[in-house]
Every structure is written in C-alpha cells, then in structure tokens.
C-alpha cells in the first residue's frame, strides 16, 4: 500500500476524484508530510510548545518553590523537604487533606448514582424530552462561581430560604447552621458540587446509553428479567467504559476543586471546610508563604496520579476483554 | 416495547423526573426571583410575617439597570467572551492536530506523549499560578487578556485532545485509505476527509472548551487587576461585594446575565454535544 | 444601604474627551481608540484600596482623583476591591512585579511584605510634623527600625453597636461595664430571640477586633516583650478567656456567627436579628443614610435606636483593637517619586480633611491632631465615642513587637480560631494548647 502512494500524485492511476490541491504544489513538501513521524511532529508542535512553556516549566519552578522557603517579595533558599514536613504536621492541613478525600468520595458517588438514574430516565421517549434534556445541563453550564453564590444566598445564616421553608413546614424550630458548622458546611459543599456535576454524568451516560441497542433490553425482558436485573446484567456492563472515563475526569476536577469552597465558605468556619487547593491558596497567596503553599499543592499530585492510573488500567483491561 | 403498568410509570418515572427537574432548576428560579426583587424585600428577616421568598408582587428591573449602567459589568462580559473564544480557538486548533496525530499516526513515543499530555491535566492550578505569574511578568502580559488566552489552553488542550482522539478512533481507517489510494496525500486526506466528518466532535470539544474557559476563576483572579479587564466570575466576586453589603440583587442579576451567553451557545449545539460525546465515548 | 457606587458609564463617555483622568475607569479597552489622551507621556498611577464600608468615602476619593491628576500632571486611577481579597492581590502583584503603584494595607501587613515596599520615612516625618504625633498602633504597624514600610492613613475604630430599646427592656439602661454583665444581659436578650452577634469567621476586621481584645481583657498575651517567647499557654489567662467565650457564645450569641464575614453582622443587625455587635461605625452610618428604608420593628428609623459602647472590662481591663490603615508604595512600581508626591497630596491636611469629614467618624486620622477637628462637634451623639477610640488600642503580636511573625499569626487567624474551635466543642485547655503550638511553629 505504502509504495504505491509514497510517490505522491505522479503515481495516481486514473481516478481523479478528490485530489487535494496540495498535490499541484509539487512533490517534495507532500512527500515530506507523508512520513508519519514528521507529520506527527509537525502536528504536535504547537501543543508541545504551549504546554511546555505554560505547564512543564512552571511545574518545575513550582517544585523548586516547594523545596525552598520563598515568601512574597523574598527569594528563598533551598530547604529540602521542610515545607512538606511542616505541612504534614499542621492540623489544618490534616483537616484539609481529610476533607478533600471525604468531599471527593461522597460527591463522586452521589453524582454517579444520581447521574445514572437521571440518564436512565432521560433515555425514554416523552413529551418535552428535548427541552428537559437541555435544561438539565444548566447547572453545569453556568459558571461555578455564579451558581455557588446563588447557593450561598440560599444557605445564608440570616436570610436562608431553605431555613424558611423548613421552618414553615414545621420540620425545624431553629435555624440550621448550614455554613456555620464544619460538618454541615462540608455537606453543603457536597450538595452544591453534586448539583453542579450531576448533569455532566447524566448527559455523558445518556450518550453511552444511546449506543446500547434496545433489542438487548427487549431480549432480556422477554427472558423474564425485571427492571433492576435488566439494568445490572445488560446495561451496566456495557456502560462501564464510559462510566469509568467520566468518573476519572470528575475525580480530577473534584479533588483539585478550588472555586466552590472559596466562594461558598472560604475554608471556614475555623478552617474546617478547607480543601487542599483552598488551603494552598490561603497559605501561599493570602499569607504570602509561597514555598509552603506550593508544597501543599504538590500533595495533590501523587494521589491524583494513583487514582487515575488505577482507573485507566482497569479501563484498559475492560477494553481488552 | 416493554409494557408497563400505569402506576409503575408514575412512581418510577414521572415522580423521580419531576424531582430531578425541581432540584436542578430551583436555584435558577431563586436567582431570577432575587434579581427582580426590590431591595426592601430582599433583606426582610426570615421570620417576618410577610416574608414571601418565592414570589414577589413588585418586580423591578433596577438591579439589571444598575448592573449595566453603574458597574463595569458590560466590559466583563466582553472580556470573558473574547478570552473564551480565542482560547477555544487555539485549543481546538492544537487539540485537533494533536488528537489526529495521536489517534492515527504511528511514531515512536506516541504512547508516552499521549500520556504526558493527559498527565498535565492533573497538575493543580494552585501550584502553577505563582510560577506562571513570573512567566507572565517576563512576557509583560500582566493585566492583559493575553495572559489568560495563553494560559487557558493549558487545561483546554488536554481535554480537547482526549475528546477528539476518541472521536477520531471511531472513524474507520478505510476512509482515509480510500482517499489515499485515490491519490490524496496524508495531510490532504486529513484535512479534506477526516476533519469534516469529525465536525460534531469538534463542535462538542469547542463547546466544552468555551464553557471551561468561561468558568475559569483562579488564573483570572491572579492575573487581572483593572476593573475593566476582569472576567465575569472574577468581577462578580470581587466587585459586587462592596464593603459591608452584598448587593444580592445585582449579584444574582450579574449571575444570570453572565450565564446567558454560555447557555445560548449550548442551546444551539446541545444535539451536537450529545452526539459528539457519543462518538468519543465509543473510543 | 442602597447608596450606589456610581461609575456612571454614560457620564464617563461624555466627559472622556475632555476629562483629564477618570478614577476607577482608566479605560484602555474598547474605548481607548476614541479618546484623545490628555497626558502626552501617559503616566498613570494605580492606587488599590478596599471597598470602604462607608461608600461615600470612595465616592469622595473618586472625586478627588481628577483634582490630584491635575495637580500632579499624571493620571490617578483608583481601584476598589473587597478587603478580604487584598492580601492575595498584593502577593500576586509582588510576585509578578506588576500591579498597582500604591496599595492600601491594614493591620501590620507591611511587615509581611517588607521586601516589596519602599521606605517612606521622609513622608512619615512630614506627616507627623503637620498633623501631630502618630497613634502608637499606627506607627508600630509600619515602623521597622528606622524604616517606615508604609504611610499611616487612618484608623477604623470598633465599638459595640447596640439597640437601646431592647437593652432597656431587659433592665440594662446603661452599657454593661464588665464582660460578665454583658453575658448576663445577652442571656436575657437571647431568650427573647434577640441574641448578640459576633463573628468568629475568617474575616479581616470584626473577628480579630474581638478575639485579640478578649484575650487581652483577661490578661493573656501571645508573646513576651521580646517577641521571642510564646507565652500564650502560660498561666490561666488565655484559658479563662476561652472559657468565658464558650459560655458567652452559648448563652448570648447568635450561633451562626461562625460563618459570618464582616458584612453579616451588619445585615443581621439592620434586619433586627441581633441586638448588639462589635463593629465599625458603618451600621450607624448606613442606617442614618438609609433612614427611609431601614426601619425597626415599630416602623421607626432604626438609627434612632442605635448607641455605641466600648468592649466591657475583663479581669485585666478593657482593651480595644482598632485597625490601622496605611498606604504602601510598591517597589516594583515605575513611578515611585510620583507615588510619594501623590501620597503627600492625599494625606495632606486639605484633602484628607474632606475625606475625614465624609467618613463621619467611621475612619479617624492616624495622627492625634484629628481628635480636635471641627467635625466632632457636628457629629451625632452616639458617634462621639469614636473620637478618642484609637487611644486605647494594642497591636497584634502583643506583648512582642508587631513584626512579620505576628502578621503571620494574624493572617492564619490562629487567635480567632482558638475561640472558634472552643465554641464548636473543643475543650478550653485543648484550644489554647493548639493555638500555642501553632504560634510556636511560627515563632520558631
């Protein structure tokens, strides 16, 4: 195959259909681009350049920062792993570390469960399907900062509409301290994150569902399977690859989440709702201790790496089978 | 057709769906109501007898008016839009080329490069933005939209690449090979044959990138300082809370207006979005 | 409450052709093509300040900007952001060596950013000569040896604002003299659904202004005089103060205060949710300015029911922490000389006086001569207490010097968190031990 084509246009035999204009320009440049390696190099060049300058290089600098005692306005000196040790001993860091896992775990589980359920619901035919489907995406589309503000207003210690509702229906007597209490605050954040992220799960899983032929479902139901069994035996195995991909992306985003906590609670009350990202920001930028902030950020990386690696291996195994 | 009894339909379908719709859309209803309420109603105590949080009898457009006339909000809309469009363009361009290269071409280190592009997605922005501040300073891009236009692709490109890679993998190789037998060059085949077929995937990646870019906060917070250069998320957070007072009415009006462009883009392309994801998730 | 902050875009467009420089809208964006620059060299001075809790003050500054521009021959541009975001902006600016030329700082932040600011000792000498000696906390917030890291501008005094009629109802006709009395009154008020409101959140003003004086009122201190030894956990003072706070919180306070920032207590007070709160004068001023909108439960303007009182005495006396504000000239700036000239203009008697008058006592001058200004005779009765407020104040880091380590403790909200953790359930001893350990880690 290759030998016939390698010569470019001059070897074309007869059929003139869909000859690109590039051939007219002459053989050498097109022959050059025939080589897979060189073409790949050319195609990848812009990406590698951008990512190299704006990620790879800053990453290395960031690592250096974490190994130094740089603070704002004061160039630092190498101090080895001292920042990491200091962070590990810091009780606020430990809270933030725990919170990040807690938050990511519960939010992901909820998003997956609710997203899957919604996807199954949306997979049917009903009136107004298109509008409902489109409107379900809204929480995901709206900038996080803006929708989180709306939630913050809904949780406001003094003017909360949710408190009002619960009070009126007689379910509570005193205000629920939504954001004034560490545990409540964490769950408020999980609720907001779930609200925001569930549509992404739903739509992606819906896309996956639509590639599953309905005949499979019919066959299963004819064999006597009920709804739950149909889901578990037929749908779920076919959805696993899609699910895994979506879960990986979601975990990456949720684990390094910054905006939501920053706007909703600012890490409070008393540092009890900090995540690694917001705490790194507070230490590095608000307090100006850049080295320590960088070290805290770096704690995120190995965890993410492991999580992603495990899931991708699982994915590869699924696809292989 | 799977036959169901009527009550089952209600319990298992209509009610859950309704709950989902209410739960998902209630905050938006809340935003709209807050944005059109006069201030006097907004700050009424929650235990006050006449507190009616779910509707208002005297809607007003004063918050929208104040927002547009008395703040630099219109600039923020324009800035965010400009930055989002250009960064999306750059990222799609890079992602398209890179996705094709990684999905279709065989060359040494293909796997490694693919993985490393994906790994950059894992690097947290909170680590990067101080060193990035140094780089921005060296290029003298501080406080300009270019600081963001060049840094946003760092998280947009990996995502676009992955999405488009998946999409390209679903396009049968035979198409290209037919074209090449017909005499097309590899490059030509790529442009003339493959890219047009991948348009849904491109649109899908583009919409996603646009949304992510619109949504970005921390880089914009750090790299932009003048009020008229800010983007909507940063502007709303930093300027709508003036002193002791949260201007909730304007905040919600700003949140609504700031979401409309993205919502519009989605409404036009939601079908492409779904099919685009379908294509890519198969791969 | 609804005093708008007018960056009137239409007005700007009209005057842009002729105007010399319009504050807060130094437009280089879309409209720059249509504007004929009035300065050939285009020198701009970018000044970053907080969103003043008295919006009229920012209006005054924006009004002064064109005047200053004309006087100095360059364009002065003000930018106002939320105070809690200031520190992040300062770090980003210093790290990227680009940003505002002058930045307003609070507390003793200049120590934290000592490497990035210009020495303004000459300006400080001039100001002290012109306007009388500096208040001790203003000076200690910026003075590092012989260097002045920033030029003190003003002080925001904090007092308790309280509802006179509600206190009268419980039989307390004068402001409580001791903290214990305050707790007793608060208990009665909370039973009636009118608790005292106090924030223990991570916010720059109200939280430290309560937690540090509370510690001092019981005789506690962070370090000894040398500033090298952490003495927080020594003796019983800190533990006693924490125990008091725990009781006070449960008996008398609105327990939502853990999530409050500097604005929540204002809103709660004005909505009639709480009966008293430690705050700057902004509640009174906002209630006065919005008299027709801000009413109490009887339909009367709320402002008539507001009085002020200082923090009551603890076993070791009564202390306040009134926040010093200062302007720092950034080292990376390209117009350092211009910046200094501008500060001289802004802090000068003539122009500062106008700003001072509009502040109506919310912000007072950093120099003692402003106590004798004519404004104090015109100001409302309840506001007169702010005149001498700045006198009774210590600085963070007491009893040691308020240096960068003290600022770090402040920025990490360690003292505030000590109380916050305790009211959330931690034992008083444990809370103090935790705070002392954190302090030890910082002081090394």
**Per-position DSSP letters for C411-439, written without gaps between them:** HTTHHHHHHHHHHTT--HHHHHHHHHHHH
What pTM value is reported for the model?
Answer: 0.80
Q: Domain ranges in chain C?
A: 44-153+324-381, 159-321+412-443
CATH number at residue B151: 1.10.3720.10
* Same domain, yes or no: A98 and A54: no
* Same domain, yes or no: B21 and B121: no
- Is B59 contained in some domain? no
Q: Which domain holds residue A13?
A: 2-66
Q: What local confidence, expressed as pLDDT, does residue B283 receive?
A: 40
Q: What local confidence, expressed as pLDDT, does residue C16 receive?
A: 36
Kindly state the DSSP code that residue B242 receives in the 8-state scheme: E
- Measured CA to CA, the distance from residue C326 to residue C345 in angstroms comes to 15
Chain-chain contact of C96 with B45 (C-beta, under 8 angstroms): no
Dihedral sign, Cα of residue A118, residue A122, residue A124, residue A128: positive
Question: Best of A111, A207, A228 to disrupt the B interface by mutation (most B CBs within 10 Å)?
Answer: A207
Helix (H, G, I), strand (E, B) or coil at C99: coil
Touching subunits for chain C (3+ Cβ pairs under 8 A): A, B
Q: Which residues pair with C329 in a beta bridge?
A: C102
- Is A236 contained in some domain? yes
- Measured CA to CA, the distance from residue C217 to residue C241 in angstroms comes to 8
Whether A192 shows a pLDDT value over 90: the answer reads yes
Chain-chain contact of A269 with C258 (C-beta, under 8 angstroms): yes
* Same domain, yes or no: B126 and B169: yes
Kindly state the DSSP code that residue C178 receives in the 8-state scheme: B
* Same domain, yes or no: A62 and A105: no
- Is A293 contained in some domain? yes
Residues 4..43 of A with a Cβ closer than 8 Å to B: which? 4-5, 8-9, 11-12, 15-23, 30, 33-34, 36-37, 39-41, 43
- The rounded mean pLDDT for chain A is 79
For residue range A254-285, list pLDDT tens digits in order. Answer: 998 888 998 888 777 777 889 999 999 888 88
Whether B131 shows a pLDDT value over 70: the answer reads yes
If you search the block for the tokens 């933030």, which residue do you land on? A96
A286 touches chain C (CB under 8 A): yes
Chain B: residue nearest C52 by CA? B243
* Same domain, yes or no: A154 and A286: yes
* Same domain, yes or no: B202 and B264: yes
Per-residue exposure over A224-236, b if at least 16 CB sit within 10 Å of its own CB, e if not: ebeeeebbeebbe
- Measured CA to CA, the distance from residue C166 to residue C151 in angstroms comes to 42
- Measured CA to CA, the distance from residue C88 to residue C333 in angstroms comes to 18
Chain B: residue nearest C283 by CA? B244
Strand (E) or helix (H) holding C324: strand C323-329
Cis upstream peptide for A269 (omega within 30°):
yes
B40 touches chain A (CB under 8 A): no
Helix (H, G, I), strand (E, B) or coil at C367: strand
Chain-chain contact of C282 with B243 (C-beta, under 8 angstroms): yes
Report the number of distinct structural domains present in chain A: 2
Touching subunits for chain A (3+ Cβ pairs under 8 A): B, C
- Is A80 contained in some domain? no
Residues 67..126 of A with a Cβ closer than 8 Å to B: which? 114, 117-118, 121, 124, 126
- Is A126 contained in some domain? yes
- Is B88 contained in some domain? yes
Closest CB to C4 among B66, B134, B238: B66
Report the CATH superfamily, name and number, of domain C159-321+412-443: Periplasmic binding protein-like II (3.40.190.10)
Chain-chain contact of B132 with A18 (C-beta, under 8 angstroms): no
- Measured CA to CA, the distance from residue B6 to residue C205 in angstroms comes to 61
Burial class of residue B44 (count of CB atoms within 10 Å of its CB; 0-12, 13-18, 19+) = middle
Chain-chain contact of A46 with B94 (C-beta, under 8 angstroms): yes
ipTM beyond cut 0.95 = no
User: How close, in Å, is residue C110 to chain A by CA atoms?
Assistant: 11
Whether A173 shows a pLDDT value over 80: the answer reads no
* Same domain, yes or no: B28 and B69: no
Chain B: residue nearest C262 by CA? B244
C324 touches chain B (CB under 8 A): no
Chain-chain contact of B266 with A141 (C-beta, under 8 angstroms): yes
- Is B40 contained in some domain? no
Tally of CA atoms within 13 A in the half-sphere of A282 that contains its CB: 29
Dihedral sign, Cα of residue A252, residue A254, residue A256, residue A260: positive
How many interchain CB pairs under 8 A, A with C?
108
Q: What local confidence, expressed as pLDDT, does residue A17 receive?
A: 40
B18 touches chain A (CB under 8 A): no
Chain B residues within an 8 Å CB radius of C80: 239, 242
How many interchain CB pairs under 8 A, B with C?
114
Q: Residues 6 or more apart from C154 whose CB is under 8 A from it?
A: C324, C325, C356, C359, C363, C364, C365, C366
The residue count of chain A comes to 321
* Same domain, yes or no: B117 and B257: yes
- Is A114 contained in some domain? yes
Chain-chain contact of A50 with B150 (C-beta, under 8 angstroms): yes
Question: Best of C105, C256, C415 to disrupt the A interface by mutation (most A CBs within 10 Å)?
Answer: C256
Q: Residues 6 or more apart from C308 whose CB is under 8 A from it?
A: C159, C160, C161, C162, C281, C284, C382, C383, C385, C386
* Same domain, yes or no: B166 and B216: yes
Closest CB to B70 among C6, C30, C271: C6
Chain A residues within an 8 Å CB radius of B13: 121, 124, 126
- Look up residue B176 and give its two tokens: 């290209």
Chain C: residues touching A (Cβ < 8 Å): 84, 87-88, 90-92, 94-95, 112-116, 200-202, 254-261, 264, 267-268, 271, 273, 331, 408, 411-413, 416-417, 420-421, 424, 434, 438, 441
* Same domain, yes or no: B174 and B216: yes
Chain-chain contact of A289 with C413 (C-beta, under 8 angstroms): no
Q: Which domain holds residue B2?
A: 1-35
* Same domain, yes or no: A43 and A114: no
- Is A84 contained in some domain? no
- Is A83 contained in some domain? no
Q: Which fold has domain C44-153+324-381?
A: D-Maltodextrin-Binding Protein; domain 2 (3.40.190)
Report the number of distinct structural domains present in chain B: 2
- Is B43 contained in some domain? no
For residue range A103-154, list pLDDT tens digits in order. Answer: 999 999 999 999 988 888 888 777 777 778 878 888 888 888 888 888 888 8
- Is A116 contained in some domain? yes
For chain C of 444 residues, list the mean pLDDT of each consecutive stretch of 10: 40 34 33 36 84 87 91 88 82 82 92 90 92 88 91 90 90 89 91 89 86 91 87 88 93 83 82 88 85 79 88 87 92 90 92 90 87 84 82 82 85 88 89 90 82
- Is B227 contained in some domain? yes
Chain-chain contact of A72 with C424 (C-beta, under 8 angstroms): no
């Amino acid at each position: 195959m290759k030998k016939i084509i390698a010569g470019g246009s001059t070897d074309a035999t007869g059929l003139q259909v869909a000859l690109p204009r590039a051939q007219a320009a002459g053989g050498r440049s097109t022959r050059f681009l025939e080589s897979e390696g060189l073409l790949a190099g050319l195609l990848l060049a812009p990406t590698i350049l951008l990512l190299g300058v704006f990620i790879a290089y800053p990453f290395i600098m960031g690592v250096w920062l974490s190994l130094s005692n740089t603070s704002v306005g004061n160039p630092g000196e190498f101090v080895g792993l001292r920042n990491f040790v200091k962070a590990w001993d810091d009780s606020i860091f430990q809270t933030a570390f725990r919170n990040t896992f807690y938050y990511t775990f519960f939010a992901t589980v909820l998003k997956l469960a609710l997203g899957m359920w919604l996807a199954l619901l949306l997979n049917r035919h009903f009136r107004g399907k298109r509008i409902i489907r489109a409107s379900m995406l809204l929480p995901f589309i709206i900038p996080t900062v803006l929708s989180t503000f709306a939630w913050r207003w809904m949780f406001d210690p003094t003017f909360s509409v949710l408190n009002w509702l619960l009070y009126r229906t007689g379910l509570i007597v005193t205000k629920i301290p939504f954001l004034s209490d560490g545990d409540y605050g964490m769950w408020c954040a999980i609720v907001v994150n779930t609200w925001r992220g569930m549509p992404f799960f739903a739509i992606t899983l819906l896309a996956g569902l639509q590639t599953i032929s309905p005949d499979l479902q019919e066959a299963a139901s004819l064999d006597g399977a009920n709804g739950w069994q149909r889901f578990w035996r037929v749908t779920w195995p076919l959805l696993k690859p899609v699910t895994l991909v979506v879960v990986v992306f979601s975990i990456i985003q949720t684990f390094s989440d910054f905006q939501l906590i920053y706007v909703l609670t600012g890490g409070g009350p008393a540092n009890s709702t900090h995540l690694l990202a917001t705490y790194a920001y507070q230490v590095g930028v608000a307090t100006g201790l850049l080295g320590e902030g960088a070290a805290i950020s770096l704690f995120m990386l190995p965890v993410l790496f492991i999580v992603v690696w495990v899931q991708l291996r699982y994915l590869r195994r699924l696809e292989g089978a | 057709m799977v036959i169901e009894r009527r009550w089952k339909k209600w319990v298992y379908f209509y009610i859950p769906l309704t709950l989902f719709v209410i739960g998902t859309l209630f905050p938006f209803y809340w935003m709209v109501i807050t944005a059109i309420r006069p201030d006097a109603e907004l700050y009424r105590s929650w235990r006050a007898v006449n507190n009616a949080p779910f509707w208002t009898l005297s809607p007003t457009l004063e918050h929208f008016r104040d927002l547009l006339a008395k703040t630099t909000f219109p600039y923020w809309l324009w800035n965010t839009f400009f930055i989002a469009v250009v960064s999306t363009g750059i990222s799609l361009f890079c992602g398209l080329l890179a996705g094709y290269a990684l999905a279709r071409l065989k060359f040494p280190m293909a796997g490694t490069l693919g993985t490393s592009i994906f790994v950059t997605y894992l690097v947290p922005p909170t680590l990067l933005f101080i060193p990035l501040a140094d780089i921005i300073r060296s290029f003298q891009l501080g406080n300009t939209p270019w600081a963001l236009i060049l840094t946003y692709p760092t998280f947009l490109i990996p995502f676009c690449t992955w999405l488009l890679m998946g999409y390209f993998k679903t396009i049968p190789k035979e198409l290209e090979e037919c074209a090449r037998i017909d005499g097309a060059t590899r490059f030509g085949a790529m442009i003339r044959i493959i890219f047009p077929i991948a348009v849904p995937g491109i649109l899908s990646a583009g919409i996603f990138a646009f949304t992510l870019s619109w949504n970005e906060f921390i880089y914009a917070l750090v790299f932009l300082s003048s009020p008229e250069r800010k983007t909507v998320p940063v502007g709303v957070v930093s300027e709508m809370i003036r002193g002791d007072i949260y201007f909730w009415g304007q905040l919600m009006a700003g949140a609504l207006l700031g979401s409309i462009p993205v919502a519009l883009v989605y409404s036009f392309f939601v079908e492409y979005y779904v099919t685009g994801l379908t294509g890519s998730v198969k791969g | 409450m609804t005093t708008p902050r007018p960056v009137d875009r239409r007005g700007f467009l009209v005057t842009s052709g002729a105007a010399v420089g319009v504050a807060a809208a130094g437009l280089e964006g879309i409209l720059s093509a249509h504007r004929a620059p009035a300065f050939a060299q285009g020198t701009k001075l970018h000044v970053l300040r907080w969103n003043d809790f008295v919006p009229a003050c920012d209006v005054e500054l924006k009004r002064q900007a064109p005047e200053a521009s004309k006087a100095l021959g360059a364009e002065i541009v003000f930018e106002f952001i939320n105070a809690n975001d200031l520190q992040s902006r300062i770090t980003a600016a210093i790290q990227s060596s680009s940003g505002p030329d002058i930045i307003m700082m609070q507390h003793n932040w200049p120590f934290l950013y000592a490497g990035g600011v210009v020495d303004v000792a000459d300006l400080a000498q001039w100001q002290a000569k012109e306007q009388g000696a500096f208040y001790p906390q203003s000076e200690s917030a910026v003075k590092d040896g012989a260097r002045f890291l920033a030029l003190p501008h003003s002080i925001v005094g904090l007092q308790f604002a309280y509802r006179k009629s509600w206190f009268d109802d419980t039989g307390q006709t004068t402001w409580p003299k001791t903290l214990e009395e305050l707790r007793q009154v608060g208990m009665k008020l909370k039973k009636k659904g009118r608790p005292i409101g106090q924030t223990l959140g991570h916010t720059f003003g109200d939280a430290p202004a309560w937690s540090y004086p509370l510690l001092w009122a019981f005789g506690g201190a962070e370090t000894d005089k040398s500033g090298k030894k952490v003495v927080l956990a020594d003796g019983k003072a800190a533990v006693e103060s924490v125990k008091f706070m725990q009781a006070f919180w449960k008996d008398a306070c609105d327990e939502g205060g853990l999530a409050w920032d500097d604005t929540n207590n204002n809103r709660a007070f004005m909505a009639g949710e709480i009966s008293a709160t430690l705050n700057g004068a902004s509640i009174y001023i906002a209630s006065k300015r919005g008299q027709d909108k801000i009413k109490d439960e009887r339909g009367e303007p709320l402002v008539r029911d507001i009085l002020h009182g200082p923090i009551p005495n603890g076993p070791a006396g009564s202390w306040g922490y009134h926040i010093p504000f200062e302007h720092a000239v950034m080292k990376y700036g390209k117009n350092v000389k211009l910046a200094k000239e501008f500060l001289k203009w802004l802090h000068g008697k003539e122009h500062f006086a106008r700003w001072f008058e509009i502040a109506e006592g919310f912000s007072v001058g950093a120099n003692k001569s402003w106590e004798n200004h004519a404004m104090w005779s015109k100001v409302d009765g309840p506001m007169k207490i702010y005149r001498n407020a700045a006198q009774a104040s210590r600085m963070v880091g007491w009893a040691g010097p308020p240096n960068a380590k003290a600022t770090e403790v402040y920025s990490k909200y360690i003292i505030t968190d000590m109380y916050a953790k305790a009211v959330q359930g931690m034992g008083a001893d444990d809370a103090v031990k935790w705070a002392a350990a954190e302090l030890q880690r910082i002081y090394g």
